[in-house]
Amino acid sequence: MTLQQQWVALQTILNKEIHRFSRIWVQTLLPPVITMSLYFVIFGTLIGSRIGEMGGFSYMEFVVPGLIMMSVITNSYSNVVSSFYSAKFQHSIEEILVSPTPNYIILIGYVLGGVARGLAVGFLVTLMSLLFTKLQVQNLAITVAIVFLTSVLFSLMGFINAVFANSFDDISIVPTFILTPLTYLGGVFYSISLLPEFWQGVSLLNPILYMVNVFRYGILGVTDIQVHYAFMGVMAFIVVLATISMYLLESGKRLRS
Amino acid sequence: MGKALDIKGLQKVYGNDFQALKGIDLSVEEGDFFALLGPNGAGKSTTIGVICSLVRKTAGKVSVFGHDIDQDFSLAKQELGIVPQEFNFSQFETPWRIVLNQAGYYGMPRELAKERAEEYLRKLGLWEKRNDQARMLSGGMKRRLMIVRALIHKPRLLILDEPTAGVDIELRRSMWEFLKEINEAGTTIILTTHYLEEAESLCRNIAIINHGEIVENTSVKALLKTLNKEHFVLDTKEALSQLPELKGYHCQLIEDHSIEIEVEKGQSLNPVFLALQEQGVEVLSMRNKANRLEELFVSMVSKNGGEG
């Protein structure tokens, strides 16, 4: 395939993915906005007013970046895992597998589809948060970069989960038992400086902590961790996950007989 | 004319040690209309799966129009269109999007894809349904949709895995006409089918596969010539209470108005008519009893150990 043809194939996969989640927006875009609005009301306004300041900001200001990041993470992940697994389940993935589209274009297409949904939901949740608080972005480049890279990372995780999944139950195991606990313990609702020293150390093993903190740093200018280490960690994770994904595609494991 | 498909020593062993293909050699000439026949589990779909890269082969070489599927996979795939046995498109998408997306996976510019999609959807009677969800289409329409999808990038080799399974007679005939038309326009076609009448009326060459091995590979004409017996049914004007005497022929009364006669190769039918005339039996019509290819197929498969 020429580069021009590969570009057409990439656009096709991305358009297909965007069309898919837009067509079922009631299942894909609306629920996270409603859920996060409830978080803003309950944690930000009702409970947050009794908590007082955290890290020098009102609790609402502190919690909003974490909640935006949480919605980006879960939606990037679930878009790729559900779309790719559905394609496997219906065998429509064969449409791409029999075509000359190279494997890396397939991977990039699905990952960008996940990023598109993650960013769309992140944008909608950010708009909703403006009803509750003012957001003054301190560092736009860092904010955009970390949200994009986080979205890529979790889209890749969703892809790997989809390749290994044998049933629709399998695509909810990782979000339920790994993603949600790590997100809740990843400094979305609190600063790890509130934790005893031992639990601070344990928290540093949680990769989501770094993403949430860098995003919060981009918006509020405060963080519990070193920003450049966080970027390096996220990049390293992306490289590892992309390598695994490409291996799965090239070897045809669970995709070709 | 070159080879549209060339398979050498193709083997496939599945994870459970089941050897689905035992070293197949098969060539299909450019422009041919070729039938690949075999009972269930013989290895037809595995062979097709290997050609289109959905099944990983254990050993052997496959090339499509001279492009090795391992080394020149992109060029080989550009030449190939596949219509699988099972519906394998998103049931929630519309035929229009399914076909356009497929064109995109082959790198075809959107405008050209739209032109071709309209042309083929109209030709196969799906244009009015282009914006319905695919799950709402009838079985026959879904099969035609898969043909449109396989043709959108104008492959030179089209492989159809039982394309008329579950399709009514009228639609089957119209699909045959369409396939003949694209074959005459230059597309090489390989067909697997359970309807042997389909293979006999459409295909020029034929291979029979059984237990992962090619047991016959020749022209349909040559294969039919090997038949040494045929069965004819004679329909009589009057009801017959007993079988007329027809010396030298094995025959039986199958209904009160029908006699079945077995005729060996080279044996004349004139004595039959003379004898019937002498006995006052008037014949209204005569027909070939069974599909000739079917008889051959059954005898070949049973010679090779029955259904696998």
pLDDT in tens, B182-226: 999 999 999 987 777 778 788 889 898 888 888 888 888 777 777
Nearest CA in chain A to B16: A257
Q: How far apart are CA B95 and CA B103, in angstroms?
A: 12
- Chain A nearest-CA distance from B65, in A, is 15
- Chain B nearest-CA distance from A226, in A, is 43
Nearby residues of B35 by Cβ (< 8 Å), 6 or more positions away? B190, B191, B192, B193, B198, B199, B202, B203, B205, B206, B207, B220
pLDDT value of residue A118: 95
CATH code, B269: 3.30.70.1560
Domain boundary among B203, B225, B247: B225
pLDDT band at B306 (very low <50, low <70, confident <90, very high): very low
Task: Give the three-state DSSP class for A231.
Answer: helix
Residues B256 and B110 in one domain: no
Q: How far apart are CA B143 and CA B127, in angstroms?
A: 14
Is there a domain that residue B118 lies in? Answer: yes
Interface test with B, best of A83, A90, A106, A253 (most B CBs within 10 A): A90
Question: Is residue A224 within 8 Å of A192, Cβ to Cβ?
Answer: yes
pLDDT value of residue B293: 64
Residues B130 and B183 in one domain: yes
Amino acid at B224: L
Is there a domain that residue B111 lies in? Answer: yes
Give contacts of A1 with chain B, Cβ < 8 Å: 74, 107
Q: Residue B99: which domain range?
A: 3-225
Residues B111 and B206 in one domain: yes
Of A5, A95, A256, which is closest to B89 when you measure between CB atoms? A95
Tokens matching residue A157: 């995780």
Task: Give the three-state DSSP class for B231.
Answer: strand
ipTM of the complex: 0.84
Give contacts of A98 with chain B, Cβ < 8 Å: 52-54, 77, 80, 82
**pLDDT exceeds 70 at position B296:** no
Distances (CA, A) of A105 to A100, A196, A257: 10, 46, 21
Give contacts of A11 with chain B, Cβ < 8 Å: 104
Please give the angle made by the CA atoms of B140, B178 and B174, to the nearest 5 degrees: 50
Question: Is residue B6 within 8 Å of B30, Cβ to Cβ?
Answer: no
- Chain A nearest-CA distance from B45, in A, is 12
Average pLDDT, chain A: 88
A residues 92-111 closer than 8 Å to B (CB)? 92, 94-102
Is there a domain that residue B307 lies in? Answer: no
Nearest CA in chain B to A102: B74
- Count of domains observed in chain B: 2
CATH code, B191: 3.40.50.300
Residues B183 and B75 in one domain: yes
Residues B74 and B113 in one domain: yes
Residues pairing with B157 in the sheet: B80, B188
Give contacts of B50 with chain A, Cβ < 8 Å: none
Residues B215 and B115 in one domain: yes
* Domain edges within chain A: 3-250
**pLDDT exceeds 60 at position B305:** no
Give contacts of A105 with chain B, Cβ < 8 Å: none
pLDDT band at A109 (very low <50, low <70, confident <90, very high): very high
CB contact under 8 A, B54 and A1: no
CB contact under 8 A, A94 and B54: yes
Residues B58 and B181 in one domain: yes
pLDDT in tens, A63-95: 888 889 889 999 999 999 999 999 999 899 999
Residues B104 and B136 in one domain: yes
Residues B262 and B200 in one domain: no
Residues B107 and B247 in one domain: no
Distances (CA, A) of B129 to A25, A111, B112, B184, B275: 24, 32, 20, 28, 59
Residues B15 and B93 in one domain: yes
Question: Is residue A164 within 8 Å of A156, Cβ to Cβ?
Answer: no
pLDDT value of residue B301: 67
Residues B235 and B286 in one domain: yes
Tokens matching residue A80: 């790729």
Nearest CA in chain A to B58: A257
